[in-house]
Amino acid sequence: MSPIFDCRDEAQLLAGMRNARQAIGRGDLIVIPTDTVYGVAADAFSPTAVQRLLDAKGRGRNQPPPVLIGSKETLTALAESVPEPVQRLVDAFWPGGLTIVLPAQPSLVWDLGETQGTVAVRMPEGRVVLELLAETGPLAVSSANLTGRDAAISALDAEKMLGDSVAVYLADGMSKNGIASTIVDATSLVRRGADDGEGVVRILRHGVVTREQLHEVLGDLLEPEEQPESEQPASEPQQDGDS
């Protein structure tokens, strides 16, 4: 049975962080608390580890995991470029519950799945996750649940679903709000002029950061709100529970 470390206890925190770092180094999976929901994490630069993450969740390569980073500066190393409106989003909502999709840096050697040349990045809030990211570097992280099930809001919830497919569980009580991050697509700000790019930011998933908050920062660069369902074509599938 995989160990669960209660990070509210300083002794368990130290032991848990050590075990978590070692597990990531081996290419194993860990469960970590974030400011949204609990996440299952793998070394973003290990294709084998990322595939383990997808397999553990029962998820295909067509649903690549986002990447969590420990500092705002790391975004420039992962994204092809960071347009000024995206920098405004970063300054307003990081660390916090906003995941931003951008074209990935072409020089990156990794395989997150069928990303279409993009990467979804977030800097989370929380002592445990940020300290871990500072030591491991970027982690591929998805919500700690089986696909189709509710996201875990405690380490025990995650353990019931993921079991021994995860090597180490880091616990930090119940999730603060149990609401996943908001995901926005800012790729067209970089690919302006491309056939499919209109130079706006699209909301892919509604979450902890509201449309109103995004509009305060972006103004008209935020794509207009969707029409009522009866007036629009069927919507594209929504990304399954990422933290």
Question: Does residue 232 have a pLDDT over 60?
Answer: no
pLDDT digits (tens, 9 = 90+) for 140-172: 999 999 999 999 999 999 999 999 999 999 999
Question: What does the pLDDT look like over 96-136, one tens digit per residue?
Answer: 999 999 999 999 999 999 999 999 999 999 999 999 999 99
**pTM for this entry:** 0.90
Res 241: pLDDT:
55
Please give the pLDDT value at position 236: 33
Give the bridge partners for 189, in sequence order. Answer: none
For the cut 50, the answer to whether the pLDDT of residue 137 exceeds it is: yes
Share of the chain above pLDDT 90, in %: 86
pLDDT at 198: 61
